[in-house]
Structure 1
Amino acid sequence: MSDAPAGSGALPAAETLRRRLVERMRLSPTAWSVDGAVFAFRASHGDDLPTGGYVVIDVGTDAGAGVGRARRRVVGQVHERHEERAPVGTFSLDWGALGEAGDELAGVVQGVEVALPVRVVSGAGTVLAAVAEDGTVDPRPPAVGFADADLAPAPDDLVEQVLAARRGGAPTLALGRLVTAPEREAPLRAKGITRHTFLCGQSGSGKTYATGVLLERVLLQTDLPLLVLDPNSDHVHLGRLRDDAPADDAERARHGREAGRVRVASRGGSPPLRGWFSDLAPTEQALVLGLDPVGDLEEHHALLQVVAGLPSRHGVSDVREAAVASATEEGRRLALRIDNLGLAGWSLWADPADDPLAGLDDDRRALVLDLGSLAEPRERAVAALMVLGRLRRRPERRPVLVVVDEAHTFCPPTSPDPVVAATTSHLVWLAGEGRKYGLHLLVVSQRPAKVHPDVVSQCDNLVLMRLNGERDAAALLESFSHVPAGLVALAPSLRQGQAVVAGPLAGDPLLLQVRDRLTPEGGADLPTDWLRPGP
């Protein structure tokens, strides 16, 4: 191409040429599949085919079908997509076909060789259902491959039909709406909540809000009892509807019936958050007293002897009095240890008239343990140890959803604190063995790396909100290999309140926007009135 004089029309004409070539090279979205279960596709940059979205694929007539036979369509979900540049070869151009742009270029161009890179999108997904010519949806698509099939975004009403067919009428939890179809519900499968669930998202992702919405839906749409370990007092209003709650009459009536069976146990509340020292096993009592079975040989042995002689229900003061009454040096040191630690003054311990642990074993619909109301962090850890130990040792098999908010507080990967290490041990057992005893986990934390891997790896459900760390995504893929990597890769780009839900709770992975809460949030951010300018 010769040099064009400055100010000539050659450069604008060249840009016109470039745009027309790009338009000519746009790819028609095309999909293909070897087995009819998963598909791959290629399309032009800018086609509306987002990860987590739904597509309809025209796969042609059935094999052997004659002329006029019905064509087959399938609906799939995009699980990954990648943008790339595809090189284009040499072109011969007809200047006359370019109109005025061609006339302007003909005077300055003797020959042209075009190697034009075009942006394309490639990706893959899973086939969810087949759609008959009359619109009937079959959630079991035939495993028949296809090639060079037309691909387009699926209409919202068709997506709704497919998801309903895939659920098969099973009870649901209305957690939110589809991100790619905001007018359509993204209902979860209620039965899936009995498979352990890990909900994670960094600060500001909407994690606590989403947890509250999920608890509301379990309360309103199932009969599964709830036990909530609430270290930050975030869920203490679960039994009270907001005045402006976006609930219909049926939901308000249901919540009204359940509200009387939602109890919040807190320090100084009704019921009080209290328990007996004997709710801890003797080895757990030793941990609270900071006694090592080897390093503190005599005192540890004295504690076991003292406890063995006490009634099945006893308090810290009972242990101290019995230690003094033993008239031994080891007993004296044990009593001094209790005094020095100030254990007898904790608000956690029950009075004789108290109902220990606010009736943990009764048939209340939901019990929120407001651990955030306890004055000392050590008290909160001991209260959690007490509750988890009692759950582990309970004789009956009765289903309950055990919600562990801010789970890194109770089961970090490692801890120098023997009490926290003991709560971790209980949660690892619960994750591995609890389901057979009716104990189902909802574990909530900011990052997977902050929670013991033996707890995370036993969760079948993942509720993923915004995460920025690449290591976190890699850790999640290791524990949740059934979740498409492309959906996990969305974590850094998720907006507040958006979540990827995968596992038995979702059936097929869902990308959703969490719905509005019905109950007030217990926790709150600090006020930002410091943002206002001064006088």
Structure 2
Amino acid sequence: MMGSMTAFEALPSRLADYRALREQLERAVLPLASSLDGRRFTVQASLHDLRLRPGGYVALDGGDGGTRLGLLESLELVREEAANLALPVDRAVLESISTRLVVRSARGAGRLVDDDPRTFHDATARPATPVEVAAWLEQRGGARAPLPVGELSTAPGVPYALDARGFDRHTFFCGQSGSGKTYSLGVVLEQLLLRTELRVIVLDPNSDFVRLREAHPGADAGAAATWAQAAASIVVHGAQPAADSADERLRLRFPELTSAAHAALLRLDPIDDREEYAELARLLADERPRDFAALERTLAGDGMRIATRARNLGVDRFAVWAREQQGSLLDALDRDDWRCLVVDLGALPDQQEQALVSGALLTRLWERRAARRPLLVVIDEAHNVCPAAPGDALTALATDAAVRIAAEGRKFGIYLLAATQRPQKVHQNVVSQCDNLVLMRLNSAADAAYAASVFSFVPAALIEQATLFGLGESLVAGRISPQPAFVRFGARVAQEGGADVPADWA
């Protein structure tokens, strides 16, 4: 028993020796990288003083004196058995205790960002300096049609620009509530209006962009003056426009809707309600009423059942109906007096009217597709306009129109930008058609996993980092970014319409 106690008493010192040896070996792991094809690389590094991070740029110093730049896409902890050890204890009881020596290190992989096809082995890897990253962006990696939106969060102080040409593909803009998604989307829209000729329509369910024409009070005077010139072509269709502005009241005319929209609005089935359905179609074709009030007068005769149905459903009381000779939102699509058209869906009293306007606008854009005039359609809070599972007929029509544009609109110059809080909430046939990704903070690992499964052109390890993002930080990838990059969005020039309520109550 006494000998056994002596052996156990010796264990702490033996464990200390084990840990010291393991640390010595772990610190000896050299930061080395190799490339078998000249396009991708693998890297190892010691866990002690580890400065590499996924999404960061790595400088690879080769034996020939040249330095190549790489983007680290993944980094993980690995454990490897280095040896079997015999730790001496006490010859009187045990000669030694056998154990395995497990050494831990970091292993990662990434892509080289230059066009040099040469392979290499055991190049020394280190974090690239901001100067090196900036030089690469300037020479080879920068956008050819730049939209400055902020700086690289992995290389602080290095400005970053999206490539405007990439917006000829559909874009998915996603971030949890409080991630800075709406603010950052405003930065992108400002740059598109300042630096391109692309027309923009914004479906705005929360009235976040109704003040897009106004410069922020804290904006630089020069930037505000430049913005004022671009903002002159912004028109808002909303609730009560000022008398001295170019804005207009948000209105639709009942007769300009499609027959499918009429049926959805009045809950008419072409088969079950065939008499009322046919009577409504006949009245619209024969009488050609200009507004809903004129239609009501027509319905007072032969279409009494339809009029009763409209009153029972509250359709006659919709705030969106144009009166008499008033213009319509859809009329604006044929005019050239705007660059950016903000449709203030938040000015409407309920989801039903928002779905009606969204569906009517998207359907009319599709009907006008033969014009082939480039247009970016921004659907903010897209889960309200084209949800994964539409809950009513009007929302289903709007969703169908969005899916049609997502599938075929690009060839006609109609590009989508869908923004939402959670990727699963938007119809999968819209999300899956997006070739650009702007991903901000996601609190849910399940949301990140879903995004990784849909956007397979982005390394999954980079998407996983979204759960760690801070305010305004994002992952951008696709045609709008030469390489996947972690970007922190900069300041806006225009006034934000829907800022959070101050928490001074706390």
- Are 1:320 and 1:334, in contact at CA under 8 Å, matched by a contact in 2? no
Question: In structure 1, how many angstroms separate the alpha carbons of the residues matched to 2:365 and 2:374?
Answer: 11
Select which of 342, 351, 362 maps to 2:323.
351
Select which of 398, 412, 420 maps to 1:437.
412
Question: In structure 1, how many angstroms separate the alpha carbons of the residues matched to 2:465 and 2:46?
Answer: 21
Select which of 262, 282, 286 maps to 1:305.
282
Determine if the alignment matches structure 1 residue 52 to structure 2 residue 28. Answer: no
How has the CA–CA distance of structure 1 residues 169 and 447 changed in structure 2, closer, same or farther, with 3 Å as cutoff?
A: closer
Determine if the alignment matches structure 1 residue 232 to structure 2 residue 233. Answer: no
Look up the equivalent residue of 1:40 and give its one-letter code.
Answer: T
- Are 2:172 and 2:431, in contact at CA under 8 Å, matched by a contact in 1? yes
Counterpart of 1:86 in 2: which secondary structure? strand
Partner in structure 2 of residue 31 of structure 1:
33
Look up the equivalent residue of 1:82 and give its one-letter code.
Answer: E
Residue pairs, 1:465-504, within 5 angstroms: 465-504=440-479
Look up the equivalent residue of 1:39 and give its one-letter code.
Answer: F
Question: Which of 405-414 and 374-383 deviates more?
Answer: 374-383
Counterpart of 2:474 in 1: which secondary structure? strand
Residue pairs, 1:102-121, within 5 angstroms: 115-121=100-106
Look up the equivalent residue of 1:173 and give its one-letter code.
Answer: L
Partner in structure 2 of residue 447 of structure 1:
422
- Are 2:213 and 2:495, in contact at CA under 8 Å, matched by a contact in 1? no
Residue 157 of structure 1: CA displacement?
A: 1.0
Question: In structure 1, how many angstroms separate the alpha carbons of the residues matched to 2:463 and 2:50?
Answer: 22
Question: In structure 2, how many angstroms separate the alpha carbons of the residues matched to 1:393 and 1:218?
Answer: 25
How has the CA–CA distance of structure 1 residues 12 and 241 changed in structure 2, closer, same or farther, with 3 Å as cutoff?
A: farther
Question: In structure 2, how many angstroms separate the alpha carbons of the residues matched to 1:498 and 1:4?
Answer: 57
Residue pairs, 1:420-431, within 5 angstroms: 420-431=395-406
Select which of 341, 345, 355 maps to 1:367.
341
Question: In structure 2, how many angstroms separate the alpha carbons of the residues matched to 1:343 and 1:259?
Answer: 35
Question: In structure 2, how many angstroms separate the alpha carbons of the residues matched to 1:369 and 1:127?
Answer: 43
Partner in structure 2 of residue 323 of structure 1:
299
Residue 4 of structure 1: CA displacement?
A: 7.6
Percent identity at matched positions?
Answer: 39
Question: In structure 2, how many angstroms separate the alpha carbons of the residues matched to 1:443 and 1:6?
Answer: 65
Question: In structure 2, how many angstroms separate the alpha carbons of the residues matched to 1:458 and 1:164?
Answer: 31
Partner in structure 2 of residue 294 of structure 1:
271
Counterpart of 1:48 in 2: which secondary structure? coil
Determine if the alignment matches structure 1 residue 268 to structure 2 residue 240. Answer: yes
Look up the equivalent residue of 1:117 and give its one-letter code.
Answer: V
Deviations 1:123-156 (A, max 9, x none): 1000112xxxxxxxxxx122x3222221111111
Partner in structure 2 of residue 256 of structure 1:
228
Residue 111 of structure 1: CA displacement?
A: 7.2
Question: In structure 1, how many angstroms separate the alpha carbons of the residues matched to 2:391 and 2:67?
Answer: 59
Question: Which of 296-305 and 516-525 deviates more?
Answer: 516-525
Q: TM-score, with normalisation over the residues of structure 2?
A: 0.90
Counterpart of 1:87 in 2: which secondary structure? strand
Determine if the alignment matches structure 1 residue 178 to structure 2 residue 152. Answer: yes
Determine if the alignment matches structure 1 residue 241 to structure 2 residue 215. Answer: yes
- Are 1:431 and 1:441, in contact at CA under 8 Å, matched by a contact in 2? yes
Counterpart of 2:287 in 1: which secondary structure? coil
Deviations 1:151-205 (A, max 9, x none): 1111111111222333466111112211111101121111111210001112222
Deviations 1:100-125 (A, max 9, x none): xxxxxxxxx99797744333101100
Question: In structure 2, how many angstroms separate the alpha carbons of the residues matched to 1:478 and 1:14?
Answer: 44
Structure whose residues are more often strand by fraction:
2
Look up the equivalent residue of 1:360 and give its one-letter code.
Answer: L
Partner in structure 1 of residue 120 of structure 2:
146
- Are 1:90 and 1:114, in contact at CA under 8 Å, matched by a contact in 2? yes
Q: TM-score, with normalisation over the residues of structure 1?
A: 0.85
Determine if the alignment matches structure 1 residue 341 to structure 2 residue 313. Answer: yes
Residue 84 of structure 1: CA displacement?
A: 2.5
- Are 1:502 and 1:509, in contact at CA under 8 Å, matched by a contact in 2? yes
Partner in structure 1 of residue 290 of structure 2:
314
Determine if the alignment matches structure 1 residue 507 to structure 2 residue 482. Answer: yes
Question: In structure 1, how many angstroms separate the alpha carbons of the residues matched to 2:139 and 2:324?
Answer: 56
Residue pairs, 1:77-96, within 5 angstroms: 77-89=71-83
Look up the equivalent residue of 1:204 and give its one-letter code.
Answer: G
Question: In structure 1, how many angstroms separate the alpha carbons of the residues matched to 2:493 and 2:15?
Answer: 59
Partner in structure 2 of residue 157 of structure 1:
131
How has the CA–CA distance of structure 1 residues 409 and 111 changed in structure 2, closer, same or farther, with 3 Å as cutoff?
A: same
Q: Which runs of 5+ in 1 are unaligned?
A: 62-70, 94-108, 130-139
- Are 1:316 and 1:343, in contact at CA under 8 Å, matched by a contact in 2? no
Question: In structure 2, how many angstroms separate the alpha carbons of the residues matched to 1:190 and 1:514?
Answer: 16
Q: Which runs of 5+ in 2 are unaligned?
A: 88-93, 242-246
Counterpart of 1:78 in 2: which secondary structure? strand
Structure 1 segments of 4+ aligned residues over 6 angstroms from their partners: 1-8, 10-14, 109-114
- Are 1:279 and 1:390, in contact at CA under 8 Å, matched by a contact in 2? no
Deviations 1:221-241 (A, max 9, x none): 222111100000011111111
How large is the Cα RMSD of the aligned pairs? 2.8
Partner in structure 2 of residue 73 of structure 1:
67
Look up the equivalent residue of 1:319 and give its one-letter code.
Answer: L
Question: In structure 2, how many angstroms separate the alpha carbons of the residues matched to 1:476 and 1:283?
Answer: 33
Question: Which of 11-20 and 347-356 deviates more?
Answer: 11-20
Counterpart of 2:54 in 1: which secondary structure? coil
Counterpart of 1:175 in 2: which secondary structure? strand
Residue 2 of structure 1: CA displacement?
A: 9.4
- Are 1:230 and 1:370, in contact at CA under 8 Å, matched by a contact in 2? yes
- Are 1:267 and 1:347, in contact at CA under 8 Å, matched by a contact in 2? no
